[in-house]
Structure 1
Amino acid sequence: MTFTHRLATRGDLPALATVVEAAIAELQKGFLDAGQIASSRAIMGIDTRLVDDGTYFVIEAEGRVAGCGGWSRRATLYGGDHSAGRDAALLDPAVDPAKVRAMYTHPDFARRGVGRRILSLCEAAARAEGFRTLELMATLSGRPLYEAAGFAPVEHLTDASGGAPVPLVRMRKAITVR
């Protein structure tokens, strides 16, 4: 199977919303209970600022969106357009970590390298802008991928803003200089 990537556009949002919903509904099973999965919908999603900033990628295969995800030079760590507490302040690459954001893989393409490809694209783009560290907020289902990619946990927390408390893990990784 051949995967391609490109930057997302606003026109992609309906297709991306379908991927987000499928990923939340299916890939969190075994990690979260039904209430936590429902609560996840309130705290996860796509932040269209990433699309507008040109830092959000679409991975395609067989004419379908296989996954999506991006990075940000802004302070918000996680959450979609509907999430409270977003902060659009620009980060200082010399001291602040770039944020890896809103990574989703369609269940039909899970465990085929989609997430690793997005992480690689994010790391290269952030490195090109002078960032030395990446940071993300991992779900329990995403944590194994991030650990395999070199991210280390720095904080465990829960977000109950969607109702049931959802466990999350803040993770970081130093960007290697090439």
Structure 2
Amino acid sequence: MELTHRLAVRDDLAELQVLIGAAIRELQKGFLDEAQIASSQAIMGLDTALIDDGTYFVVEAEGLIVGCGGWSRRATLYGGDHLVGRDAALLDPGREPAKVRAMYTRPGFARRGVGRLILALSEAAAAAEGFAVLELMATLSGEPLYRAAGFVAVERLADDAGGAPVPLVRMRKPIGVTG
């Protein structure tokens, strides 16, 4: 399977929403219970500012979008358009970490290099803008990928904004360090 990538565009939104919903529902099974998965759907998702900023990628295989994700030079760490309290402030690359955001893989394509490709693209783009550190908020299902890519846990917490508390892990990685 050959993976290709490109920047996401607004015309991708309908397909991305389907992929994201399926990824949250299916790939978190075994890590979260049904109430936590429903809560996760309420707090996760796509922040379309990433598309508008030109920092959000889609990965395709034979014309099908099989993954998406990207990075941000803005302060918000996670959450979709529907989440209140997002912070659009621009980060200082010399003092603050770039944020890896909204990474999702189509069920059936997990553990096939999609996530690693998105991380590599995000790291290269953030480094080109002068960032020295990446930061992300991992779900329990995503944590193994991020650890393998060189991220380390710096905080464990739970977000209960969607109802049931969803365990999350804030992770960081210096740019240029591979897993």
What TM-score bracket applies, with the shorter chain setting the length? over 0.9
State the Cα distance separating 1:71 from its structure 2 match: 0.2
Q: Could you tell me which residue of structure 2 aligns to residue 56 of structure 1? A: 56
C-alpha separation between the residues in 2 aligned to 1:63 and 1:135? 30
Q: Could you tell me which residue of structure 2 aligns to residue 80 of structure 1? A: 80
C-alpha separation between the residues in 2 aligned to 1:100 and 1:46? 12
Q: Could you tell me which residue of structure 1 aligns to residue 36 of structure 2? A: 36
CA RMSD in angstroms comes to: 0.7
Partner deviation per Cα, 1:127-175 (whole Å, 9 max, x = no partner) = 0000000000000000000000000000000000000000000000000
Runs of 4+ residues over 2 Å off in structure 1: none
Q: Which runs of 5+ in 1 are unaligned?
A: none
Q: Could you tell me which residue of structure 1 aligns to residue 67 of structure 2? A: 67
Q: State TM-score, norm by structure 2.
A: 0.98
C-alpha separation between the residues in 2 aligned to 1:41 and 1:110? 19
Identity %: 75
Query: Residue 109 of structure 1 aligns to a residue in which SS?
Result: coil
Query: Residue 84 of structure 1 aligns to a residue in which SS?
Result: coil
Q: Could you tell me which residue of structure 2 aligns to residue 95 of structure 1? A: 95
C-alpha separation between the residues in 2 aligned to 1:155 and 1:110? 25
Q: State TM-score, norm by structure 1.
A: 0.98
Q: Which runs of 5+ in 2 are unaligned?
A: none
Q: Could you tell me which residue of structure 2 aligns to residue 145 of structure 1? A: 145
Partner deviation per Cα, 1:42-77 (whole Å, 9 max, x = no partner) = 110000000000000000002211000000000000
Partner deviation per Cα, 1:4-52 (whole Å, 9 max, x = no partner) = 0000000000000011011001000000000000000111000000000
